[in-house]
Amino acid sequence: MIRFILCVLAAVLMLVFSIPLLVLAWIIGKINPRTRDRYALVLIRGALNVIIFLAGVKMEVSGEENVPKDRPVLYIGNHRSIFDIILTYPRVPFPTGYIAKIQLKKIPLLHAWMKLSRCLFLDRKDLRQGAATIFEAIDLVKTGTASIFIYPEGTRNKNENESDLLEFHEGSFKIAQRTGCPIIPVAMLGTADIFENHLPFIRKTHVRLEYGKPIDPTTFSRQEQKHLGEYTRNVMCKMLESRITEEQP
């Protein structure tokens, strides 16, 4: 329980005391939006690294050499924990917006920082709004403004076997289809053991994070691109199965 209290307290304090930094970000954005994006990236990385430290998470990371450092990409991750974003954002080398559930817009300061970091909010019950969000993400990638990180399962996966992924929403992959940006599979193991598997406790946990080889959507035919989600899901299932097998005695 101590870790939970420390993480929540740290998050609240950082949000409250970040108000002057938000004002500064607004001023910087009026002068140079790209500089503001980098400014936000550095500050949010630092804040999330504090949460990771307080939670006692130890990460084993592989495949980071597969991530382009100088251009936007579409990250595709498996989703099992609220910590998935906390653990992956500090490692992105380029401004990156996450596709998040629309309910997070109700948290004022958190919403402000998410918007500042180019996050987009998706209402899966509103198909028109959902399509508009995807097109906004396409624009961010096409203009070179930001990468996009999305969890195409659409909800947190609670299956016992971590390699048993839910079906991927193919609409998520329109971002890569329309822009030609690389798709980076991001496979995570153990994140639910931080918090969700034993609510309300946060426990010291070992997490494995692997970045797969880039998938180039331009090498797929138009018909094959309609099934990029299924293809990427199969790639990630194999990545997860391989890591699970390595951990077995």
The set of residues, in sequence order, having a beta carbon less than 8 Å from that of 75 and lying 6+ positions away, is 88, 92, 96, 147, 148, 149, 150, 184, 186
Burial of 3 (0-12, 13-18, 19+ CB in 10 A): middle
Instruction: Quote the pTM value.
Output: 0.93
The identity of residue 54, as a single letter, is L
Mind listing the pLDDT tens digit of every residue in the chain (249 residues)? 889 999 999 999 999 999 999 999 999 999 999 999 999 999 999 999 999 999 999 999 999 999 998 899 999 999 999 999 999 999 999 999 999 988 888 888 999 999 999 999 988 777 788 889 999 999 999 999 999 999 999 888 998 888 899 999 998 999 999 999 999 999 999 999 999 998 889 999 999 999 999 999 999 998 988 899 999 999 999 999 988 877 766
Counting the structural domains of the chain, the total is 1
Burial of 156 (0-12, 13-18, 19+ CB in 10 A): middle
Most distant CA pair in the chain, distance: 56
- CATH number at 153 reads 3.40.1130.10
Task: Look up the domain containing 69 and give its range.
Answer: 2-247
Q: Where are the beta strands (DSSP E) in 133-172?
A: 147-150
Does residue 233 contact residue 168 with C-beta atoms inside 8 Å?
Answer: yes
- Tell me the C-alpha distance between 111 and 90, whole Å: 18
